[in-house]
Amino acid sequence: MKNTTPQLDAEALYKTLATQIQHGLQSIPDAAIVGIHSGGAWLAERLAADLGLTARLGFVDPSFYRDDYAERGLRPDVKPSQIPFEVEGATILLVDDVLYTGRTTRAAINELFDYGRPAKIMLAALVDRGERELPIAATFVALHHSVAPNESIVLHRGTNGKFSLTVEHA
């Protein structure tokens, strides 16, 4: 069952996030952007285009790095990771759509370290829904928004490239 929540204007939130990131990366030469599949990857693609960082854009799907992999199993939509730049010594902006427990972020960071040791990793999230299970915080976040435990916030990308958010009941 889907419930569209009007107060979650994904396009307005994207603009807020992009402005924060643009200001935050001003003093960082050669920053790289890595999006977490799939919503974070969509955001990272658009951010890279808007900020002129398409040459240093990568994607990770940390499914195999999750600490609950044995319990959850393999999702049918696992995507290949693509990091076409040198991670060693890089400043990386890791992008996700919704920050929740922190476990996906931790898994993505573990995967990044398999490619090399970054100088710095910053995290950007469109929505932070709280309820962290790990000590992970976003450097850039457009909105802090709580939902019920049986709900999730889901980012969608239309054929026109525009973003929308829904709150879905489990």
pLDDT digits (tens, 9 = 90+) for 33-87: 999 998 999 999 999 999 999 999 999 999 888 776 556 555 666 788 999 999 9
Closest-CA residue to 37 (of 84, 85, 94): 94
pLDDT reported for residue 63: 85
Q: How many beta carbons lie within 10 A of that of residue 35, not counting itself?
A: 28
pLDDT reported for residue 92: 98
Angle, vertex CA 18, rays to CA 137 and CA 131, nearest 5 = 25
Classify 76 as helix, strand or coil.
coil
pLDDT reported for residue 98: 98
Within its chain, how far is the Cα of 125 from the centroid? 5
Q: What's the mean pLDDT when you consider all of the chain? A: 91
Cβ neighbors of 109 (< 8 A, separation 6 or more) are 94, 121
Which one-letter amino acid corresponds to residue 96? D
Q: Tokens 């573990």 belong to which residue? A: 110
* 7-37 tens-digit pLDDT: 699 999 999 999 999 999 999 988 999 999 9
Position 154 pLDDT exceeds 70: yes
Decide which of 27 and 6 is more confident.
27
Within its chain, how far is the Cα of 18 from the centroid? 13
- For residue 3, what are the β-bridge partners? 167
Decide which of 78 and 98 is more confident.
98
Q: How many beta carbons lie within 10 A of that of residue 154, not counting itself?
A: 14
In angstroms, the CA 11 to CA 147 distance is: 20
Q: What is the CATH number of domain 2-169?
A: 3.40.50.2020
pTM for the predicted model, two decimal places: 0.92
pLDDT reported for residue 170: 76
Q: Which two tokens stand for residue 106?
A: 């931790």
